[in-house]
Amino acid sequence: MNKVARTEIGKFSHFFPFSATIVTSHFDGKDNAMAVAWHMPVSANPPLYGVGISSGKLSWEYITKTMEFGVNFMPFEAAELVAATGGPSGRKIDKFKSFGLKKDASIATSAPILSEAYAAFECVVEKQAEYGDHTLFIGRVVALHHLPEAYDERGRLNLNIVKPTLYLGGDNYLQITTFNTPHLDRKETAEDLARRNA
């Protein structure tokens, strides 16, 4: 491979595709939803999940005031909802009403849980810190909502049942139509590669 190397980073999007989520929040009787592609697991025990949100967003304001948020993992059939919630500000429209977002009952926070999500976390903020143009909110997952049939016995997403919304950047989404999911045992693969390269 002939890669190009440079110190001028420019558009920072080389990590895509990435699953797109809708982060939800609630404050003073109002719900908000925002598409977020910058998110990540932080810890398994305790269960911690992080989302990166710019300080100019209404979601940032709601999360900062309540210290709660929801992370909703959306199937590709709901990609239009992901795109729409990433558009206009919740200060200008009620996204739940305008986009027909339906919600399930939250059980541990006030953050809305989207009915169309195949999995969702209710999170309570444990830490937050400013990094460049985003705030990283680290939330403890205090409740989990999921479709049991969407996962196999080991907790892996079953792509025959659910195809996640994957974001490519620049308002482009990736639809999975065919897939191959090889199982590569880390230890065995390392040993095999070491043998082949000896």
pLDDT tens-digit map of 57-82? 999 999 999 999 999 999 999 999 99
* Residue 28 banded pLDDT, cuts 50, 70, 90: very high
- Classify 65 as helix, strand or coil: helix
* CATH number belonging to domain 18-196: 2.30.110.10
Q: What's the confidence (pLDDT) of residue 76?
A: 96
31 has pLDDT over 90? yes
Q: Name the residue ranges covered by the structural domains of the chain.
A: 18-196
Q: What's the confidence (pLDDT) of residue 158?
A: 92
Q: What's the confidence (pLDDT) of residue 9?
A: 80
DSSP secondary structure string, 151-179?
B-TTS-B-TTT--B-EEEETTEEE---S-
**What is the distance between the alpha carbons of residues 59 and 65, in angstroms, rounded to a whole number?**
10
Tell me: the pLDDT tens digits for 113-170? 999 999 999 999 999 999 999 999 999 999 999 999 999 888 899 999 999 999 998 8
Per the CB < 8 A criterion, the answer to whether 173 and 86 are in contact is no
Report the pLDDT averaged over residues 95-123. 97
Q: What's the confidence (pLDDT) of residue 144?
A: 97
pLDDT, averaged across the chain: 94
Q: What's the confidence (pLDDT) of residue 154?
A: 86
Q: 183 exposed, middle or buried (CB, 10 Å; 0-12, 13-18, 19+)? A: exposed
The reported pTM is 0.92
- Hunting for tokens 């009915």 — which residue is that? 115
